[in-house]
Structure 1
Amino acid sequence: MSSQIIYTVGHSTRLRSELASLLKHYNVDTLIDIRAIPYSRYNPQFNLETMITEFPKNGMTYEHLSSLGGEPPSREVMAQAKSCSERSRGFATHMESEDFKRGLQYVLSLAASGKSVALMCGELRPEHCHRFQVADVVQANGWDVQHIVSETDLRHHPANLFTY
């Protein structure tokens, strides 16, 4: 199974059309939004309702899967956090939950069925995002994980010997 790939991507400040073009470049047909809260004050083009109505026009499936996003952080944490990783403190505990495990199995089954899947969050750099932790678990399940940063920057997820 190691030749099969699951991608991750951060929407960052891109235009929605730029994200769609980037995903098409890597032949992604299914975008799974793993943000705990599928809204962005600064990038409303990636808010849930907009993505549900607009993203399929690019020939791709869009789904929000909150089980891979964890519990929404408190207002205090949201006000002080500078990155997704700061907002995701305690995420490792959530990864042990049945909710997370069901979400993970759903993603793996989609990919195993032949879908080209990308997991999306907000941060451009995967190492600043909880999707890096999700990638550890995906990789531990036998999948190759590639982080899409740009059309010329595709990063192989490093092996984490402590994830089992």
Structure 2
Amino acid sequence: MNTHTLFTVGHSTHPPDYFLDLLKKHGITCLIDVRSVAASAYNPQFNKEPLSAFLKKNGITYLHFAKEFGARHTDPTLLDENSKVDFEKVRNSDDFKSGVKRVIQGFKKGFVIALMCSEAEPIDCHRFSMVSVALQRLGFDVQHILKDSTLLTNVQLEKALLKKFHKKLPVPTVFDPDVSIQDQITVAYHLKNQEIAFSPYTHDSEEKI
């Protein structure tokens, strides 16, 4: 497929009008909500019904991809050995692949798409470490909208991941000289997965929905 620009954004604590400005500035015409539960106890303006109505009023299509791109799962086949959601297993699931196909179809229809979750910082959210990585691999140019409306590329966030986990990453040695940057990035994504993953068996998970 040809390269398309895909955006992500976190609703954070933004007032609705400011959030709308963020979307309008980057030409967003379709917002895909990737929260498993489209509700916010602290920011009810971003609950599914009011948000959908607000966006529709302002000419933006709203879709909820809880099943496709949400990060809270209870299916044992999608959990790792520590009973946490394994993002790689999710990316290989039929539901996730169906979500990717719908995103591609949306681009073919001319939509400018943004994936939305709650976290302001994309590096702390599964929209980056679970979803964006898969779309980047397919050729999407992923751009993350920050609170001040500036952009970070997915590549820039990957560099931030490498810096964050640099002490835990594999490095080339005499016995294993072929460790590449891509190998390090893969491990860094896995470490981030472990850091934020939801577990259905605990109540103190920090997974970002």
Normalising by the smaller structure, the TM-score range is 0.7 to 0.9
Following the alignment from structure 1 to structure 2, what is the Cα–Cα distance between the partners of residues 105 and 115? Answer: 14
1:25 corresponds in structure 2 to 25
1:81 corresponds in structure 2 to none
What SS is found at the alignment partner of 1:158? helix
1:149 corresponds in structure 2 to 146
1:79 corresponds in structure 2 to none
Which is further off, 104-113 or 89-98? 89-98
Higher relative contact order (CA 8 A, sep 6+): 1
If the length of structure 1 is used for normalisation, what is the TM-score?
0.82
Kept after mapping to 2: 8 A contact 1:125/1:149: yes
Q: Residue 16 of structure 1: CA displacement?
A: 1.6
Q: Residue 155 of structure 1: CA displacement?
A: 0.6
Q: Residue 131 of structure 1: CA displacement?
A: 0.5
Q: Deviations over 1:31-83 (max 9, x none)?
A: 0101111111111110011112222111111111111113357xxxxxxxxxx
- Give unpaired runs (5+ residues) of structure 2: 75-83, 159-181, 187-209
Which is further off, 117-126 or 58-67? 58-67
Superposed CA RMSD: 2.0
2:135 corresponds in structure 1 to 138
Q: Residue 104 of structure 1: CA displacement?
A: 1.3
1:85 corresponds in structure 2 to none
How many residues align? The count is 148
What SS is found at the alignment partner of 1:38? coil
Given the alignment of the two structures, is residue 125 of structure 1 paired with residue 121 of structure 2, yes or no? yes
Q: Displaced runs of 4+ in structure 1, greater than 4 A? A: none
1:100 corresponds in structure 2 to 96
- Give unpaired runs (5+ residues) of structure 1: 74-87
Identity of aligned residues (%): 38
Following the alignment from structure 2 to structure 1, what is the Cα–Cα distance between the partners of residues 69 and 151? Answer: 22
Following the alignment from structure 1 to structure 2, what is the Cα–Cα distance between the partners of residues 12 and 94? Answer: 25
AA of the residue aligned to 2:10: G
AA of the residue aligned to 1:26: H
Following the alignment from structure 2 to structure 1, what is the Cα–Cα distance between the partners of residues 88 and 20? Answer: 30
1:44 corresponds in structure 2 to 44
